[in-house]
Copies of this chain bind each other. A is one copy, B any other.
Amino acid sequence: MLKANEKAFQKMAETDPVLVDIVLLKEAIAIEQTTFLHAGPPISFEKMCTPMKGAVICGLLNEGLADSPEEAEKVALSGKINFEPCHNYGVVGPMTGITTYSMPVWVVEDRKTKKRSYANLSEGSGVGLRFGEYSKETLDRLDWMKETAMPLFKKVIKELGGIDLAPIMAQGISMGDELHMRNHATTAQIIKLISYKLAEISPEDSPAVIKYMSVGNDQFFLNLAMAATKLAADAGDGVEGSSMVVAIARNGVEIGIRISGLPGRWFTTASPMVKGLYFPGYSEKDANPDIGDSAIMEVGGFGGCAMVTAPAIIKFVGAKDVKVAERLTESMYEITLGEHPIFQIPFLNFRGLPLGIDIMKVVETGITPVLNTAIASNKSGVGMVGAGMSTLPINIFEEALVALSESL
């Protein structure tokens, strides 16, 4: 292995994520209220897909920067709002990923380096901001998350002295989660870990907060897993000469990757359509191109890379059977630098997750990463219309490799 890749891999592998706090975005990073973070590589409001535009409108209403959806759209087009990728700020957001100034974010910190990453909170059941909805229900829920849920979570994290996320993630892999499309086990584990504390802290609000995590919210842990994995990816970023992928993200129009050796530089192409299964009443014509920062999970060896850990969803994401899942994971080992030292797959006799996608190996083998992902509607406020797998186009890996060679 290249010395540079060895170093980048090691830094990613040894990250030890601890949930240390929940704060408003403005308390986490230095930004203005008019800076809106979004999923994927950079994009202007005009070019955004419909659900992301809807989410921007929702964000403007939530921030009080507009009083109506019509006004919000004018504000969004006025040039007063600065749109930037979540990824540039140590933040990751599922689906549209719109994360703004006054929204609560989980704070995940590396035990050793004290570096931090952030992700917004799962909105639970229903459609929500992340799918571009800006109904009263969605706005009320955002308020409730900030005013009721956040203070309780803050106290519980403090009382428990932080929450180690790696053990929950490791357990998740041994319990049928691949931590991208399936977070049943991780979600149940964190509920188990904190519910009695929540009940102690607030007899009044704990029933609603525990219910919010427990009912119709099986992906509750995803946002935490994303922040933890972003922390690992950022740890591996910026190693001169390294060809390791440190970001895969989609804004719903373009998909982009970043590599460790060229920090901050995106290599983008049109976002692919997801191949998979649609919910009754929907078909490919209802689908948005692939969207969201949740592909960070594959950067960390989860999701499509770990398909074999989650046989219960292989049909849901459109794979045929367990053998297909096993072959998929096997093929991911061909394009990764090594195996995760802690996150192990029991069914492969505790082999570590395939970690550290290497653009050199991708270009050499022609195998590109496969993402497990939700299929979002191409309309605002409709939500998820299916789930499936999305294969990254090879051209961005080739371009990244050329750029890396030129830089050396």
Chain A residues within 8 Å of B, Cβ to Cβ: 171, 174-176, 184-185, 187-189, 191-193, 195-200, 203-204, 206-208, 210-211, 213-215, 311-312, 321-323, 346-349
- How far is A349 from B320 in the complex, measured between Cα atoms in Å? 10
Alpha-carbon separation in the docked complex, A207 to B322 (Å): 41
Q: How far is the CA of A213 from the CA of B208 in the complex (A)?
A: 19
A223 to B200: give the CA distance in the assembly, Å: 27
Q: Which of B214, B323, B346, B349 contacts A176 (CB 8 A)?
A: B346
Contact residues in B for A207 (Cβ distance below 8 Å): 196-197, 199-200
CB distance from A224 to the nearest CB of B (A): 16
Residue of B whose beta carbon sits closest to that of A344: B312
Q: How many copies does the complex hold?
A: 2
10 further contact pairs, Cβ within 8 A, besides A171-B184, A192-B192: A175-B175, A175-B184, A191-B195, A196-B214, A199-B206, A199-B207, A200-B207, A203-B203, A203-B204, A323-B349
- Interchain CA distance A363-B189 in the complex, whole Å: 43
Distance, CA A198 to CA B214, complexed state (A): 13
Chain B residues with Cβ below 8 Å from A185 are 175-176, 185, 188
Instruction: Please state if A311 and B214 are interface contacts (CB–CB under 8 Å).
Output: no
Q: How far is the CA of A379 from the CA of B166 in the complex (A)?
A: 38
**Nearest CB of B to A361, in Å:** 27
Closest 10 CB pairs of A and B: A203-B203, A311-B346, A188-B188, A196-B211, A196-B210, A174-B312, A199-B207, A200-B207, A195-B195, A175-B175
Cα separation A215 to B207 with both chains bound (whole Å)? 19
The residue on B at minimum CB distance from A204 is B203
**Nearest CB on B from A161, distance (A):** 15
CA distance A347 to B174 in the complex (A): 13
- 30 residue pairs A–B, Cβ–Cβ below 8 Å: A171-B184, A174-B176, A174-B311, A174-B312, A175-B184, A175-B185, A175-B312, A187-B192, A188-B188, A188-B191, A191-B191, A191-B195, A192-B214, A193-B214, A195-B196, A195-B199, A195-B214, A196-B208, A196-B210, A197-B207, A199-B199, A199-B206, A199-B210, A203-B204, A311-B347, A312-B346, A321-B349, A322-B347, A323-B349, A347-B347
Shortest CB distance A346–B (Å): 4
A357 to chain B, nearest CB (A): 26
Contact assessment for A215 and B188 in the assembled complex, using a CB-CB cutoff below 8 Å: no
Question: Which chain B residue shows the least CB distance to A206?
Answer: B199
> Closest residue of chain B to A198, judged by CB?
B199
| Nearest-CB residue, chain B, relative to A220 | B192
From residue A329, how far is it (CB to closest CB) to chain B in Å? 13
Which of A193, A196, A206 is most buried by chain B, counting CB atoms within 10 A of its CB? A196
Provide the bound-state CA to CA distance between A180 and B204, in Å. Answer: 37
List residues of chain B with CB within 8 A of the CB of A197: 207
A6→B189 CA distance, assembly (Å)? 40
Q: Which residues of B contact A199 (CB under 8 A)?
A: 195, 198-199, 203, 206-207, 210
A193 to B200, CA, bound (A): 18
